[in-house]
Amino acid sequence: MTARKKMDQFNQRAITDAATLGQKLKQVREQSHYSVVQVSEQLRIKPEYIEAIEQSRYTALPSGVFVKNYVQRYVKLLGLNWLTIQPLLEAELKVYQHTPDIPTQKRYLAKQPLQLMRVVIGLVILFAVIALAAYFGLEITNIVEPPRLEVVELPNQLAYADRIITLAGQTDPEAVVSINDQVIPVLPTGQFSQQMSLQSGSNLLKIEAKTKRSQPHIQYLQIYVEDQPN
């Protein structure tokens, strides 16, 4: 297994295993190489409030209005979809508001049926949060994971007569592929092919594939072309 595949599996497993919205936001922040201080400076929100959001300690924030405002600004900074995050936040806030601290189920059945019903409602909401969290985990995986990029191998040394090559490969259908920052066509199947004329000497080719929401996947090819014979 390659190092990249191991890292991809680690990132996906970490995202899936996270339990709360705050933990997921923290993961995206760390994968985006933001520190808490940098987020605080860009959003003009106290660092302790950023940490409170990541720990789902919403009672540490000034009020419910500030909670949604702070989280929405944080989500936009990370480049995530607020419409996807909003129901997850609201469901999580309801759990904190409606789940009481109960000693035993038997006591509430006998003496406090109203509070027992609140517990049941809280559990239903919790299951909804878990379902949304699973969906959110997949959304984040799609956001941060680079697209697939497979390039057909080419010889690293060519005669001058063979300097015209065809660079071909496979990527995700929605990805944009460029060679040395020049965009090339990609078929609906994800296949791409581009004819190129190399120069004498060393040629460095940068092949990049990326989507609107992903990190780029970059590969380099270095091909040496012999000098033109006299």
Domain layout of the chain by residue ranges = 3-144, 149-225
CA R_g for the chain = 26
Place of tokens 């929405």: 72
Q: Closest Cα to residue 189, out of 176, 217, 170? A: 170
Whole-number pLDDT of residue 135 = 75
Please, are residues 26 and 35 in contact by the beta-carbon 8 Å criterion? no
What element of type H or E holds 225? strand 217-225
Cα torsion at 12, 15, 17, 19 (round to 10°)? -170
**DSSP string for 75-90:** HHHTT--HHHHHHHHH
CATH fold of the domain at 149-225: Immunoglobulin-like (2.60.40)
- 10 Å Cβ neighbour count for 120? 11
Whole-number pLDDT of residue 17 = 46
Taking the chain (230 residues) in runs of 10, the rounded mean pLDDT of each run is 39 49 91 92 92 88 81 91 90 69 46 73 85 71 79 90 94 95 95 94 96 90 89
Whole-number pLDDT of residue 119 = 82
Whole-number pLDDT of residue 122 = 83
Query: Structure pTM?
Result: 0.40
Helix 64-77 / helix 21-31 crossing angle, nearest 10 deg: 30
d(CA 58, CA 50): 10
